[in-house]
Structure 1
Amino acid sequence: MRGTTDLLLVLLLAAGFAALPVCALLPSLSGFAVASTVSYLADEALHVRAPGFVRRLATLQLDRTLRFAVRTVMLLALAERMNAPDSVLVAALAVFSAHFALVMLFTALHHAIRRRRVLPLVVRNLDMSALPIPKQPPAVLFRRFLRKLLHLDLAAHVGLLVALATGSRMPAYVGFALTVGVTAGAVAALLGQYVRVRRMPAREEIFAEVNRQLAVHRPEVALYFSFAAVSRDFMYQVNMWIETLEQLDRRPLIILRERASFRHLSRTGLPVLCVPKADDLAELDLSGIRVVLYPGNAGKNVHMLRVAEAKHVFIGHGDSDKLASSNRVSKVYDEIWVAGRAGRDRYRRVRHAISEGAIVEVGRPQLAPIRLHADHTPGPRPVVMYAPTWEGWSDDDCHTSLIPMGVPLIEKLLADDVRILYKPHPLTGRRSAEAAAADRTIRELLEADNERRQAVPARSASAEVRSRLARIRSRLDELAGRQAGDDAQQTREARPPAHDDAAEWHALHAEWHRLFWESRGPVAHHVVLEQLPTLYECFNQADVLISDVSSVVADFVAGLKPYVLTNAHDLPDEEFRAAYTTAGGAYLLDRACSRLPDILRSVREPRHDPMAPHRRTLKEYVLGPDHPTSMARFNAAVNALADKGAAELAEDRTLWESTDLVG
């Protein structure tokens, strides 16, 4: 629960349900009517304000259906205590029983339709119109159906209460007829939808059509991604590569393995396939794929590595000094592509597992939107971006500064009169309650300082600006292909893009960010939790970055602005810089933050920035040279490897044919 209001609603819900049996047994008609109304309204308000609390009630077997049943039973008890006519009581019992039975039947039909509409794969940007996939049932029948159906008992409840108050049976019968009639009508309508969905195409038809479409597109390069149940938090690993893929000479294809990944994919005109099961992935004709790119290491990568006709490349999702960025698992790939020489040196840690010839330096094409330090105009207050990494899967790879020094750091920054952009890692707090608590405290500190300074907090932008931002977001979602409907509906409506909408996408992105930053004003702190504003747009706003050992730091180096690495364990400077490549151009911040004033001086007084020349040297070491461009080098690497794979494949086929002839 978020506060006093939520707690009050919980107390009202409990009081309403506690009063129902008391009022029913007294009996007190007016008291029962008030208690029932309070329980209804508090229940609905909690669903909106505190869904987590409502889910917790369900784990205690106090779900919505049971709560409605309790109200119904108490109403029948009230009617019996008030000596309602037997005909009314019998009719009420029959109607409420029939209503619950119809709700159960509707639920069974709903589940059956959902199961039948689950396709073995989901498609975007391929023409699937040849498949006879029925439309998704209307939202009025399908979305939040249980909530709607259970509320249909309101007519019967109100009718019976009015009948008890007036002594007339007619209001009760009218309410009963409405409840049963509308519920039966809903069941009949859904039954018609169930008949339609029985004509869904068979699995064989679906794969035959997908393979026909792949034969038309003839993809040569595939980006393959899997990351289990946390795909939403990791989709940046795919989205950062989309524009690079769209600029390749070779025809690309994106293959995802989790439905959650598909829903959070950014805009692209490239064909996209989401194939959750390994057996289904094997049904795809991928014989034309010459290069497969992997932005992350995941267990399901083995399902794609089986494609012998292709060359397999680990491209990662950023250059980090973490040990996880250079592990022995990478040996399964034909090549490993890194940004610059620092990446090559990093893999020398596993010298006996990764050969020198398997490592290719291709730059970081994604970093083009980052403005250079020379092009940056500082605001009235220094803008400090604090972007700590998360606590990692285990203590061995825990590099976060949040736990040991995050809160004191923010307190000292606030005391030094700076503006803070706080962007925690999406997985912050997943493993560590301490990290979650520190994150929560930092957000509270920033909100309190905004209120103290009477700065414009994030939620108080004008209604006109909020409306404009919402409209832009809606259009961006539309351009990204996030259509309404379930996966079957999206596949049914999948089509190749009618025109190149990249220009509109970039223009809307730029407009959204302009409005967003202008509406926040030049002094307000901001917590960045969503996909917008983007990480690189936050870089462009910042005067200095404070971060932990992570790929965020390597990307920030592209702008040549001052940056700070947290040294939470207070290692000697020489030892820390020797351990982490990106520390070569960084200011190092001790756990007590005693160096913070000197670091901020380098921002306020650029002449006192001794790390500036080191950053220029480090940029080329970490990210590679500026010429040729990263995009040109990446494209050349794809072409070279694809040609190499095609030549080897042709050689193998010649060898097989000659062997067959000899045989």
Structure 2
Amino acid sequence: MMIRWLCSVLRVRGKADLLLVFLFGASFAALPVFALLPSLWGFAAASAVSYLTDEMLHSRAPGFIRRLASLQMTRTMRFAARTAMLLALAERMNAPELLLVAALAVFTVHFAIMMLYSAVHRIIRARRTLPVIVRNLDMSGAGIPKQPPALLYRRFLRKLLHLDLPGHAALVAALAIGTWTVAYAGFALTIGLSVLALAALLWQLRRVRRMPTPDDVIAALNGQLADYRPQVALYFSFAAVSRDFMYQVNMWIETLERLDLRPLIVLRERPSFRFLSRTWIPVVCVPKADDVAKLDLSEVRVVLYPGNAGKNVHMLRIAEAKHVFIGHGDSDKLASSNRVSKVYDEIWVAGRAGRDRYQRVRHAISDKAIVEVGRPQLAPIRLHADHVPGPEPVVLYAPTWEGWSDDDCHTSLIPMGVTLVERLLAENVRVIYKPHPLTGKRSREAAEADAAIRELLRTDNERHGGAAAEAAIAAAQLRLKEIQTRLDELAGRLDGDDAQQTRDARVPDRDGAAEWQALNDEWHRVFWESRSGVRHHIIRKRLPSLYECFNQADMLISDVSSVVADFVASLKPYVLTNAHDLPDEDFRAAYTTAGGAYLLDRDCTRLPEILRSVREPRHDPMAPHRRTLKEYVLGPDRPTSMERFNAAALALAERAARELAEDAGEGLPRLTIPSQRTDSDNIAESAEVSALHQTDRTDPAEQTDPADLAGLVDPAG
């Protein structure tokens, strides 16, 4: 337990990294001791260990390095301290005064050159910062020069600092043998290499003078957009963007690729561009609002918004297009029926439940503005009938995060998460634990509960022989890494800075989708097979995906979130946490997805009875309610979600074009459908689905009545 606690405090992954931290700390602490004794060989050994462990920790434990930096022990400070200790050792060993002065001058000049190099590097980076970043459009004509060589440009501080090694090693050798010319030779090498590196970077500075102006880059992009003529755009912005948020965009990519309109993705934050999944769709990242206004989006008729963000107003200003809030999941949370949604022309929801949810926001959203389009992303989820449970139930615990404030905090982690996992372990089930990516980012209590749950699962794995499976996991890592590398290549994650990636942007080959899917399937197969001997799984990364975890599980336990609505598609048993112990009737009245759920109290006393629905499939009284709820929440199976989504996009684009023509006093224009998707059967099918789409909007009473879901009692209660 003490080791786990130390790993958590020091932000390292395991015992091996913890040993490196102790070696690093001990070697650094020994430097002043050996310098003052003085002990040359003790100092040399401690210095070598400190160099090596410092480098290893940078790659193995970046969290620990960041913790050091927060305590003002940056890499530069550590190198400076090591140099000061070396000079103290030389003085204590009665080195000649001239040698000491030369050593001090050399190391001072080395640090001065490093500062100048950093300044030049900053200038180059600033000059290479483009107003846009582009993928999947041919930007070869923009005139963007190549990035400086990686040797000079990437991780430059790390390389420059290590140029003190010749001087350090030579001074130690000179103190050992008493021949000072060795020290001077090492000093000359340190200064010579530093000056050479600076000169090479200054030469690269000349090349950035040929960088095109921001207006030239945008003009080149607009030329490509004019040739491509996008008709529908997905627009995404998030101020604190990271890989944790990009699922909101990535979940819609395949749907966009299958539309009968030419799609475009517009991002607003540079980091989000790096976490985008594979797509052939043109992608443009435009950080500044003024540059968004310069984009040629004259033929875009529909703009889709997966999230509500302040920067959405920069796209909402486009009057020629219709603006649609599509969200990133169908949740019962209050945020999923926000009054802010009134600014959009339409709100697309999965099923009748979404319509009813918005109607509860009185005097805000018009019923005519709500369109039911299903959830096209749910196709990979296997149905309950196609799932074969193993001898021990597999329970997926996927709690939501703590939200932006305590008012919208729905997570079960804080009030009951640890108790729940303890009870699951006592019930002899296998657990897949997949918390929300943002878990613990705001609440310390949530972070502590998350850490406690992971510790419980690790300990239980060890008790059930999980250590024996480490060999199989290690053997699979190489193949998983190979697959991941190829997936990154297909996703367009190229080497180089943003300007280099824009320079290398080309129109992609659309045939990569088949290889992408095959590799994705193989990754998941290798992952689960290699971990067949592991009892519990803690999923913290993007892969394995949430839907693959759905397919592995016999039951879901979660909080009020879009995860539950998506899991409903599987028709498997699922559980909603009732952490505040509301009466069942009140809970089901408040949250639509509770209509087909087993409700779990805060103390988890109902858990044994709930698990009977998995252990004894015939004892599953909520099964018929889940079937009714599925259509209510996600819409009918026919027409398919993709057909309904496509029809909604076409209908809205036609409406936008018609209104634009009416405003201009022209005749009714015909919306141009991309040639690869214009066969007569497809158009006829879209027209038919469009008619159904209009019927859904004007006569919702023919769909599943929410009253059918009312009055359900929890059989497990």
TM-score range, shorter chain: over 0.9
2:403 to 381, 389, 392: 392
Q: 1:294-321: CA deviations, max 9, x gaps?
A: 0111111001000010000001111111
**Distance of 1:422 and 1:15 partners within structure 2:** 37
Percent of aligned pairs sharing the same letter: 75
**Distance of 1:565 and 1:313 partners within structure 2:** 30
Q: Structure 2 matches for 1:338-377, cutoff 5 A?
A: 338-377=349-388
Residues 49 and 389 of structure 1: is their aligned pair in 2 closer, same or farther, counting only changes over 3 Å?
same
Q: 1:141-181: CA deviations, max 9, x gaps?
A: 22221121111111111111211221212211221122112
**Distance of 1:528 and 1:55 partners within structure 2:** 24
1:567 to 575, 578, 581: 578
Is 1:487 the counterpart of 2:501? The answer is no
Say if 1:127 and 1:495, in contact at 8 Å, map to a contact too: yes
Is 1:629 the counterpart of 2:640? The answer is yes
Q: 1:102-158: CA deviations, max 9, x gaps?
A: 211211111111111111110000000001212222222222211211111111111
Paired residue for 1:589?
600
- Determine helix, strand or coil for the equivalent of 1:431: coil
Is 1:52 the counterpart of 2:87? The answer is no
Q: Which amino acid aligns with 1:588?
A: L
Residues 523 and 336 of structure 1: is their aligned pair in 2 closer, same or farther, counting only changes over 3 Å?
same
**Distance of 1:577 and 1:387 partners within structure 2:** 20
1:289 to 280, 289, 300: 300
1:207 to 205, 209, 218: 218
Is 1:94 the counterpart of 2:111? The answer is no
Q: Which amino acid aligns with 2:297?
A: L
**Which moved further from structure 2: 405-414 or 64-73?**
64-73
Instruction: Mark the runs of 5 or more structure 1 residues left unpaired by the alignment.
Output: 657-663
Shift of 1:460: 4.4
Shift of 1:97: 2.2
**Distance of 2:422 and 2:69 partners within structure 1:** 40
Say if 1:407 and 1:438, in contact at 8 Å, map to a contact too: yes
Q: Structure 2 matches for 1:262-341, cutoff 5 A?
A: 262-341=273-352
- Determine helix, strand or coil for the equivalent of 1:384: strand
**Distance of 1:327 and 1:458 partners within structure 2:** 47
**Which moved further from structure 2: 542-551 or 523-532?**
523-532
Paired residue for 1:232?
243
Q: Structure 2 matches for 1:597-612, cutoff 5 A?
A: 597-612=608-623
Instruction: Mark the runs of 5 or more structure 2 residues left unpaired by the alignment.
Output: 1-9, 668-717
Q: 1:403-424: CA deviations, max 9, x gaps?
A: 1111111111111111111110
Paired residue for 1:530?
541
Residues 466 and 41 of structure 1: is their aligned pair in 2 closer, same or farther, counting only changes over 3 Å?
closer
- Determine helix, strand or coil for the equivalent of 1:491: helix
Q: Which amino acid aligns with 2:228?
A: H
Q: Which amino acid aligns with 1:168?
A: T
- Determine helix, strand or coil for the equivalent of 1:240: helix
Is 1:189 the counterpart of 2:195? The answer is no
Shift of 1:623: 0.5
Shift of 1:481: 0.7
Say if 1:457 and 1:526, in contact at 8 Å, map to a contact too: no
- Determine helix, strand or coil for the equivalent of 2:76: helix
Q: Structure 2 matches for 1:215-226, cutoff 5 A?
A: 215-226=226-237
**Distance of 1:448 and 1:23 partners within structure 2:** 42
Say if 1:219 and 1:252, in contact at 8 Å, map to a contact too: yes
Paired residue for 2:423?
412
**Distance of 1:234 and 1:42 partners within structure 2:** 34
**Distance of 2:461 and 2:18 partners within structure 1:** 26
Say if 1:152 and 1:179, in contact at 8 Å, map to a contact too: yes
Residues 197 and 296 of structure 1: is their aligned pair in 2 closer, same or farther, counting only changes over 3 Å?
same
Shift of 1:653: 0.9
Q: Which amino acid aligns with 1:545?
A: L
Is 1:30 the counterpart of 2:41? The answer is yes
**Which moved further from structure 2: 293-302 or 77-86?**
77-86
Paired residue for 2:125?
114
**Distance of 1:419 and 1:258 partners within structure 2:** 39
Q: Which amino acid aligns with 2:106?
A: V
Paired residue for 1:138?
149
Residues 456 and 480 of structure 1: is their aligned pair in 2 closer, same or farther, counting only changes over 3 Å?
farther
- Determine helix, strand or coil for the equivalent of 2:414: helix
- Determine helix, strand or coil for the equivalent of 1:234: coil
**Distance of 2:33 and 2:616 partners within structure 1:** 73
**TM-score, structure 2 length as denominator?**
0.88
Residues 458 and 328 of structure 1: is their aligned pair in 2 closer, same or farther, counting only changes over 3 Å?
farther
Q: Which amino acid aligns with 2:329?
A: G
Q: Which amino acid aligns with 1:116?
A: R
Q: 1:64-106: CA deviations, max 9, x gaps?
A: 2222223223323333343333443343233222211221121
Q: Structure 2 matches for 1:539-578, cutoff 5 A?
A: 539-578=550-589
Say if 1:567 and 1:590, in contact at 8 Å, map to a contact too: yes
**Distance of 2:465 and 2:237 partners within structure 1:** 45
Residues 59 and 451 of structure 1: is their aligned pair in 2 closer, same or farther, counting only changes over 3 Å?
closer
Residues 62 and 449 of structure 1: is their aligned pair in 2 closer, same or farther, counting only changes over 3 Å?
closer
**Distance of 2:542 and 2:73 partners within structure 1:** 36
Shift of 1:485: 1.2
**Distance of 1:6 and 1:74 partners within structure 2:** 26
Q: Which amino acid aligns with 1:574?
A: E
Q: 1:481-539: CA deviations, max 9, x gaps?
A: 11111111110110011342111111111111111111111662101111111111111
Shift of 1:7: 6.1
2:444 to 428, 433, 440: 433
- Determine helix, strand or coil for the equivalent of 1:43: helix
Shift of 1:11: 5.5
Q: Structure 2 matches for 1:426-505, cutoff 5 A?
A: 426-455=437-466, 460-505=471-516
Paired residue for 1:257?
268
Q: Which amino acid aligns with 1:357?
A: K
**Which moved further from structure 2: 630-639 or 521-530?**
521-530
Q: Which amino acid aligns with 1:58?
A: A
Shift of 1:261: 1.1
Say if 2:469 and 2:533, in contact at 8 Å, map to a contact too: no
- Determine helix, strand or coil for the equivalent of 1:279: helix
Residues 608 and 461 of structure 1: is their aligned pair in 2 closer, same or farther, counting only changes over 3 Å?
same
- Determine helix, strand or coil for the equivalent of 2:235: strand
- Determine helix, strand or coil for the equivalent of 2:395: strand
CA RMSD of aligned residues (A): 1.9
Say if 1:577 and 1:584, in contact at 8 Å, map to a contact too: yes
Q: Which amino acid aligns with 2:240?
A: A
2:662 to 651, 655, 663: 651
1:175 to 182, 186, 189: 186
Say if 1:456 and 1:524, in contact at 8 Å, map to a contact too: no
**Distance of 1:267 and 1:228 partners within structure 2:** 23
**TM-score, structure 1 length as denominator?**
0.95
Q: Which amino acid aligns with 1:83?
A: N
Paired residue for 2:91?
80
Shift of 1:461: 2.9
Q: Structure 2 matches for 1:502-513, cutoff 5 A?
A: 502-513=513-524
Say if 1:246 and 1:252, in contact at 8 Å, map to a contact too: yes
Q: 1:21-62: CA deviations, max 9, x gaps?
A: 444444433333234334333433443444334334334433
**Distance of 2:34 and 2:527 partners within structure 1:** 53
Residues 286 and 629 of structure 1: is their aligned pair in 2 closer, same or farther, counting only changes over 3 Å?
same
Residues 457 and 216 of structure 1: is their aligned pair in 2 closer, same or farther, counting only changes over 3 Å?
farther
Residues 56 and 594 of structure 1: is their aligned pair in 2 closer, same or farther, counting only changes over 3 Å?
closer
Q: Which amino acid aligns with 2:45?
A: V
**Distance of 2:569 and 2:230 partners within structure 1:** 32
- Determine helix, strand or coil for the equivalent of 2:52: helix
Q: 1:423-475: CA deviations, max 9, x gaps?
A: 10111111211111111111111111111111368864354422111111111
2:169 to 158, 176, 180: 158
Say if 1:269 and 1:500, in contact at 8 Å, map to a contact too: no
